[in-house]
Amino acid sequence: MEEPRKESTPRLDCAGLLSRRFALDVYACVRSGGRRRVLAYEKGAGGVRAMVEHLGLPTASAHLAPARGPPQSAWC
């Protein structure tokens, strides 16, 4: 007796989801109109940090000030 086939659901990558939802082609170069390609895919934090440091970009997150309420004159 044959086992029933499992129906596989097609999964879209991030670029496919952006293309479907916003009609945005993330692989299209804005300057030349050519096609971009993925050079690297990093999942681990150590690899990402090393890549960012190599590019000379800041690795520390920016300090965000706490949220404030509106000025008191707005409530009068």
Per-residue pLDDT for the chain (76 aa), expressed as one digit of tens each?
A: 666 666 666 777 777 888 888 888 888 998 998 998 887 777 777 788 888 899 899 888 888 889 988 777 655 5
* Domain around 18: 13-53
CB-based contacts of 59, cutoff 8 Å, min separation 6: 49, 52, 53
Question: In three state form, how does the secondary structure of 31-72 look?
Answer: CCCCECCCCCCCCCHHHHHHHHHHCCCCCCCCCCCCCCCCCH
Instruction: Note whether residue 25 is domain-resident.
Output: yes
pTM of the model: 0.40
* Bridge partner residues of 28 (DSSP): 35
Instruction: Specify the number of domains making up the chain.
Output: 1
Domain assignment present for residue 46? The answer is yes
